[in-house]
Structure 1
Amino acid sequence: MKSKSEWFLFLIFFFIYTLFFHPVSDDNENSRYDLIFSLVELKTINIDQFEDNTQDKALFNGHYYSDKAIGTSFLGSLIYFPLHYFVHGFEVSRSFVQYIIRILVISIPSAAMVILLFRLITEFGLSQNKALVTVIFYGLGTSALPYSTVFHGHQLCGFFILVAYYIVLKDFKISSHVSSKKGFIFGILLGFACITEFDTILIVPLFIFLAVSKTRRFAWLVWFFPGFILPMFLQSAYNWMCFGSPLILAYSHHVLPHRGIGFMGLVYPSFKSLYGILFSPFRGLFFYSPFLIFFILGVVKVFCRPIRFELLIAFFCMLFYIFLNISLVDWEGGACAGPRYLVPVIPFMIILLSQSLQRMKPVSYFLYESLGWSSAGIFLLITATNINLPLISKFPLSEITRYLLRIGDSNLLTSVIWKNPTQFKILPLVLIVLFLFLYIRISADGRNKIFLNSVISCFSIGFFLVLLNIPFNKNSSSNHEYFGEHFSRQSKFELAENEFSFALQSNPHDWKSMYLLGELRRQQNCLNEAITLYKQTIGENKDYFAPYYRLGVIALNSENYEESVRLLEKALILSTGIPEIYNNLGIAYYGLLKYNDAEKMFRKAVELKPGYAQAWFNIGNLYLQYWKSPESIKYFEKALQIIPGFTPAKSQLDIAKKMFPK
């Protein structure tokens, strides 16, 4: 850091990003965390033991693997390796460990990006005061905020790209000597960006072209390529160990078939997706961050002046990412906040936007600040409530964020301590924004115009309230169903029950909400109510396997084996190869003394899921108790190989070794 003000800004944003605590991770995060925990705890690259918590995975030769580029998980495993042994023996929750990893791998680089961006836009001619305002809008008023608080790869990738861009701008000069160290670091940065988000590889030629055009020399490439290849070698080695080839990615074996369409889900661009990621209330970049509309004016100014090649590269990086996003089969990005695939290159938008602020008229700058503070308000509330805005809502800001705000659901770290569901949980956010606002005004070279600032504040609040008050479909059954699932994952059972009840009031035939309410009752050990709801679900939808499965397991636990077999066989017919159904059906057959049928079911379960420790244990139990065979030993050992702390398997293995000494 060059100055105290930069340190201060870094610490402010570091504090803001660490203030958010998400107790329940999404599929994207879980896939990355699963690989970390498998690498460190189990010394394996498959995620068989953890795969139940995510759909973001690949299945190959009977093993599950994370579908993500390994950069984030690789750095996370370097953090978790010493942390794992440090916390061993202490009662530390998994969610807290994930929080620490996320802070060190994602939040710190994200806070550093704010400082780096500040330096870059001042380098391109923006005054320090306007630059300060602009980077605050970037850090609080774009998708950078939510993705600095979760374990996704977007911000980390953006950090590597931005540092590489900064190095080229500062150290690659015409006819100057570029040290081997700088060339190597430049290569490593771009290499790690590529293995953090695969799409980045398409803009690497732009960076090489920029560096060559600035130096007009090629000698540094001798050190660039080893640096670039090193991270790529890590990814290639991982691909080879998982899928048998360095060039095959997880998307080729994804459990969700549409992810394997085209190359990494890339198909063709469409105007629908272009509107969706730029302007729509659903995922629109300019809708969620309205101040970014000045990016368009900045681009116009760049092309109306003698063109700086660095700005041209920034423009093409942004353009490439927009084209990639609108070409994806799942361009929406799943449940997310804004167009998340554009997050790595939003800093380039800010660089281009900064060109529009130079010599800007006061009225225009007034509008810019108003839109900027409105953007900050939008993303602070989204991040404080829930960043995984669902696909079912076309107006998520009003239908999801506003509702969660009204009932006081919060992802702030303070809410972990302050349990009461109240809107006052977001008070720290309000204080932070007020503090930053005052800090900007005090540091504005003494030109503190109180009246104008008040008008800007009022205008921003008014604009923000208009955005929040887009028609809210509060009677939507699907919205209440979403909220019910959201609260269930957080173990907020009372709130979840209310939402499922509202959904059923809106649509009494909503079989999905019936089933989910049954699941809630099962988790609360209200089995009679759960059974009733499962049966009602079957009455509404006879082709849904899940209620048959749950009723079959309940019958199994009651030792009603014949009824259990009937229900589980029905679930098996309706489902597509779920190993848990085979395993429980095997237990039911075992209860009916149909041992050969039981073994078939257990073996089918481990065929579908080789990391299924319970099924291996059940095979061992069958060989030990019924066939009295020493083969039981290898099955218990297999279960323990998967889960070293599997106590029942240890006990049965000891018994088997005593019965069948070598």
Structure 2
Amino acid sequence: MKKFFALFIVANLGLSAFFIDTWLTHNPGSRAIPMITLFEQGTLKIDRYEKYTLDKSRINGHYYSDKAPLSTFITLPFYGMARLSGLEHLGPDRYPAYSRAYTQGHRPVYNDTFVFPGFWAYATGSLMCGSLPFVLILTAAAWMVRRVNPSVSPVWLVCLPFYGSFVFVYAGAFFGHLLAALLLLLSCILLKRGRPHFYAGLLLGAAFLAEYPVGLALPLWAVLIVVREKSVKKAAAFVGGFLPGLLANSFYVFIITGSPFSMPYSHVSHEGFAPMRQNLGFGLPQPEALWHLLVSPYRGLLFFAPFLAVVLVVFLWRKEKQLGTVALDYTAWFSVCFVLLFSSYYMWDGGYAYGPRHLIPVAVLLIYEGVVWVSRTKQPLLWFYSIAAAGVGMSWMAKSTVAFLADPAVSNPFFSIIVPEFTAGRFNPNNLLTMMFGLPPMAGVIAWPLLFVGLMIVLDRAYSRYSTK
């Protein structure tokens, strides 16, 4: 099976990195720019390039990234290799930036007026914090399906739900969501398998360094460990594992703010983000936000990850005997509380986003649990595959056009933005065929689904060949 999983990783790395984001946008920019200033000036201050991102803090007259630090520092050595090897000079002389201006049909305007040495900072970040975590999540799910029911090929069962969700739209983009989701998932897997709780806490601490809100899992899971395993000692080991991540972050924010307790988000410079200065932007849960985050075509989890909607319907219809165990399930507790947390966030919609981007950690946990559950149930897979395949079509159309940059002012972004952009042939040039070989964006748009289906068939046959070995 080692050969199968090696092929699985390589194939999915190519698929997930095919649409690699290098647009000059605010959230990725806040992670990429500190790498550039560290190499050019040896500082975390981003004063030289602060105009290229709104996601920044102003502290003592200087600008800094306001993001959790792990995504930047994980990518830093790979960006350094690109600089030192001379690859950086292969990037564009004038950086193709995404403008907030729109023409008719919400078409993004590409503007090459910026001269900015950021191409490889964005590209390496998109690979290390978008594509690679996505592939490792797929691999973890495939490994578990193989372990639970070897007779079911994990290729279609795992890949269709994940590619057929908004999670895939953020693969190949320099955010912290997927990196945090991967680390959170691995922590949860360890806890459910009863493996050393210290290492589960260590992984959760790393997830916290990638995206602060996932730290919510610490108290929730520590209590569940005590209740489920009747062991305060194991809960203490779990908390102890989390502490290195917490201390590392305290040191990082101390360097920036002068206090280990003053988060960069409390010093955001842009007035549009001013609510973050109080309670980091969190308040009381909003019923309207819950509706839109879970169901509606605006940002609904079940709309943008349709596989989960089918799993939920079948699970409830079957009146699963396992329903009672959900009350003590790590994934269930985290998912409910995390959704409630972000329903109280002042920018719960995620701004320019495709789907509920803040809920990517929840989506990853639920899709993972969903595919494992489906592999156990011996249910007919047609409905699961059909709906998941429709989701693949949706995410492919999004990647082909505006990617994750759907206007928050539009109430139904898929049908009001993505479908019109797609049918009008206004395609995203951020694909490998266009960037590497200068082919028209349409070539990349057509090539990806052909590549996806072809590689899935190859992987499925490889699994059949190696599954008995």
**Same fold (TM > 0.5):** yes
Q: Which has the higher contact order (CA 8 A, sep 6+)?
A: 2
Tell me the SS of whatever aligns to 2:64.
strand
- Tell me by how many angstroms 1:191 deviates: 0.8
Say whether the 8 Å CA contact 2:311–2:370 is kept in structure 1: yes
C-alpha distance 155-361 of structure 1, shift in aligned 2 (>3 A): closer
Which shows bigger deviation, 131-140 or 324-333? 131-140
Match of 2:144 in 1: 120
Deviation at 1:79, TM superposition (A): 2.9
1:292 and 2:308 aligned: yes
Find the partner of 1:407 among 420, 425, 437: 425
Q: Aligned residue for 2:23? A: 24
Given the alignment of the two structures, is residue 87 of structure 1 paired with residue 105 of structure 2, yes or no?
A: no
Q: Distance in 2 between matches of 1:59 and 1:80?
A: 25
Task: Decide whether aligned partners of structure 1 residues 265 and 4 sit closer, same or farther in structure 2, where only a CA change above 3 A counts.
Answer: same
CA distance, structure 1, for counterparts of residue 219 and residue 144 of structure 2:
21
1:100 aligns with 2:124: yes
Question: Does 1:271 find its partner at 2:270?
Answer: no
Match of 2:135 among 111, 122, 125: 111
For residues 64-463 of structure 1, the aligned pairs below 5 Å read: 64-87=63-86, 90-93=89-92, 94-121=118-145, 123=147, 125=148, 128-129=151-152, 131-172=154-195, 178=196, 183-211=197-225, 217=231, 224-225=238-239, 227-255=241-269, 256=271, 257-260=273-276, 262-297=278-313, 300=316, 304-305=321-322, 312-354=329-371, 355=373, 358-359=376-377, 361-362=379-380, 365-387=381-403, 388-405=405-422, 406-410=424-428, 411-417=430-436, 419=438, 421=440, 423-436=442-455, 438-439=457-458
Q: Which secondary structure does the structure 1 equivalent of 2:152 belong to?
A: helix
Counterpart AA for 2:294: L
Any idea what SS the aligned residue of 1:65 has?
strand
**1:588-642 deviation digits (Å, cap 9, x = unpaired):** xxxxxxxxxxxxxxxxxxxxxxxxxxxxxxxxxxxxxxxxxxxxxxxxxxxxxxx
Q: 1:90 to 1:444 in 2, by over 3 A?
A: closer
Q: Highest Rg: 1 or 2? A: 1
- SS at 2:47 equivalent: coil
Task: Give secondary structure in 1 for the equivalent of 2:48.
Answer: coil
Q: Which has the higher mean CA deviation after the structures are superposed, 5-14 or 422-431?
A: 422-431
**Is the 1:412–1:425 contact (alpha carbons within 8 Å) kept by the matching residues of 2?**
yes
Q: Map Cα deviations across residues 2-56 of structure 1 (whole Å, 9 max, x no partner).
A: 5332222222211112211223131000001112222333221221111101111
Residue pair 1:47, 1:65 contacting (<8 A) in 2 also? yes
Cα offsets for 1:543-568 (capped at 9, x unmatched): xxxxxxxxxxxxxxxxxxxxxxxxxx
Separation of aligned partners in 1, 2:421 and 2:323: 49
Where does structure 2 lack aligned partners over 5 or more consecutive residues?
93-117
Query: Counterparts of 1:310 and 1:432 in 2: how far apart (Å)?
Result: 42
Deviations 1:50-69 (A, max 9, x none): 11011111112211111111
Aligned counterparts of 2:64 and 2:376: Cα–Cα separation in 1: 49
Distance 1:195 1:303, change over 3 A: farther
Identity within the alignment, %: 22
Q: Is the contact between residue 71 and residue 125 of structure 2 (CA under 8 Å) also seen in structure 1?
A: no
Q: Distance in 2 between matches of 1:140 and 1:116?
A: 15
Q: In 2, Cα distance between the equivalents of 1:309 and 1:147?
A: 29
Q: Given the superposition, is the C-alpha separation of residues 368 and 47 from structure 1 closer, same or farther in structure 2, using an over 3 Å criterion? A: same
Tell me the distance in 2 between the aligned counterparts of 1:259 and 1:162: 30
Whether contact under 8 Å (1:408, 1:425) holds in the other structure is no
| Rounded Cα–Cα distance in structure 2 between residues aligned with 1:317 and 1:393 | 30
| CA gap 1:280/1:159 in 2 versus in 1, 3 angstroms | same
Instruction: Answer yes or no: is the 8 Å Cα contact 1:212–1:218 preserved in 2.
Output: yes
Q: 1:359 to 1:218 in 2, by over 3 A?
A: closer
Q: CA offset at residue 97 of structure 1?
A: 4.1
Return the alpha-carbon distance in structure 2 between the equivalents of residues 443 and 417 of structure 1. 29
More deviation in 416-425 or 231-240?
416-425
Describe the shift of the 1:428–1:191 C-alpha distance in structure 2 as closer, same or farther (beyond 3 A): same
State the shift of 1:293 in Å.
0.4
Shift of 1:290: 1.9
Aligned partner of 1:646 in structure 2 is: none
Q: Equivalents in 1 of 2:315, 2:50: separation in Å?
A: 45
Aligned positions, number: 433
Whether the 8 Å contact between 2:164 and 2:395 is mirrored in structure 1 is yes
Provide Cα deviations, 1:219-244, integer angstroms capped at 9, x if missing partner.
Answer: 56676555422222221122222222
Unaligned 5+ residue runs, structure 1? Answer: 173-177, 447-662
Distance 1:134 1:360, change over 3 A: same
Rounded Cα–Cα distance in structure 2 between residues aligned with 1:360 and 1:167: 25
Between the aligned partners of 1:26 and 1:141, the Cα distance in structure 2 is: 24
The superposition leaves residues 285-325 of structure 1 with CA deviations (integer Å, 9 ceiling, x where unpaired) of 22222221024246646863375579721111211221122
Residue 112 of structure 1 aligns with an amino acid whose one-letter code is: L
Contact 1:276 1:282 in 2 (8 A): yes
The normalised TM-score by structure 1 is: 0.60
- Cα 1:131–1:324 change in 2 (3 A) is farther
Q: Report SS of the residue matched to 1:64.
A: strand
**Could you tell me how far apart the structure 2 residues matched to 1:250 and 1:121 are?**
41
CA 1:400–1:89: 2 relative to 1, 3 Å: closer
Say whether the 8 Å CA contact 1:13–1:139 is kept in structure 2: no
Match of 1:556 in 2: none
CA contact (8 A) 2:145 2:375 kept: no
Partners of 1:185 and 1:83 lie apart in 2 by 32
The separation in 2 between residues aligned to 1:361 and 1:225, in whole angstroms, is: 39
**Counterpart of 2:109?**
none
Q: Is the 1:407–1:422 contact (alpha carbons within 8 Å) kept by the matching residues of 2? A: no
Q: Distance in 2 between matches of 1:248 and 1:306?
A: 42
Q: SS of 1:305's equivalent?
A: helix
More divergent stretch after superposition (342-351 vs 148-157): 342-351
Q: Structure 1 residue 95: deviation in Å?
A: 1.1
Distance 1:210 1:319 in 2: 14
| Distance in 2, Cα, partners of 1:89 & 1:357 | 45
- Structure 1 residue 90: Cα displacement: 4.5
Report the secondary structure of 1:264's partner residue: helix
